[in-house]
């Protein structure tokens, strides 16, 4: 009888060790995935900071992203504020994440900013803002565009202020 009970205890101890190992492996996998996601967020945030300081940069890799225009126009005379972003990429624009100093894919009011196709291998964002005061302070200072694999492009945002009712003359 004693031998049988000892065998049961050893089997239970072995089962506990296997459960412990599986739990440890699962925690490790979840931690690695969380750190990867956090790393992408940090990379975008630092990219916006670099863009705000005037840095323009495109990362190499399988996914190509190039920002050719990043502009915020403030037309005080017409009471219009608009974002104009254009670029090239071999990725679908719907899969690219745009971050400004206001957050991931949002303007100062939290309204969504989405990149859209602009022909083969090109993307754009043309957005005239509503419910945002027409002020240069409501323009982002830097942008970062990132693909799911971590490829990144950053750029400062050029702010153009129009005060003349007839800028072409």
- Give the DSSP H or E segment for 79: none
Q: Strand, helix or coil at 51? A: helix
- At 168 the pLDDT is 60
Q: How far is it, in rounded angstroms, from Cα 44 to Cα 57?
A: 12
Residue 164 has pLDDT above 60, yes or no: yes
> DSSP label at 109?
T
Beta strands in the chain (DSSP E): 57-58, 65-75, 80-89, 97-100, 103-104, 116-117, 122-128, 142-146, 152-156, 158-162
Q: How far is it, in rounded angstroms, from Cα 22 to Cα 13?
A: 15
Q: What is the pLDDT of residues 69-90, one digit of tens each?
A: 999 999 988 888 999 999 999 9
Mean pLDDT, rounded, for 108-132: 87
* Average pLDDT taken over every residue of the chain: 85
Q: What is the pLDDT of residues 1-53, one digit of tens each?
A: 566 666 666 655 666 778 888 898 999 999 998 888 888 888 888 888 888 88
Domains of the chain are: 1-169 (2.60.40.10)
């Amino acid at each position: 009888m004693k031998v049988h009970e000892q065998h049961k205890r050893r089997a239970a101890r072995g089962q506990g060790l296997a459960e412990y190992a599986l739990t440890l492996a699962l925690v490790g996998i979840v931690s690695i995935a969380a750190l990867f996601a956090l790393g992408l967020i940090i990379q975008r945030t630092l990219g916006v900071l670099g863009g705000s300081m005037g840095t323009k940069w495109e990362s190499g890799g399988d996914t190509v992203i190039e920002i050719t225009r990043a502009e915020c126009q403030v037309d005080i005379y017409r009471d219009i504020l608009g974002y104009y972003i254009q670029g090239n990429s071999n990725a679908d624009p719907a899969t690219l994440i745009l971050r400004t100093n206001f957050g991931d894919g949002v303007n100062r009011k939290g309204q969504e900013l989405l990149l859209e196709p602009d022909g083969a291998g090109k993307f754009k964002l043309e957005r005239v803002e509503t419910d945002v005061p027409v002020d240069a302070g409501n323009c982002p200072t830097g942008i970062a565009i990132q693909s799911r694999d971590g490829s990144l492009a950053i750029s400062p945002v050029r702010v153009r202020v129009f005060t003349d009712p007839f800028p072409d003359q």
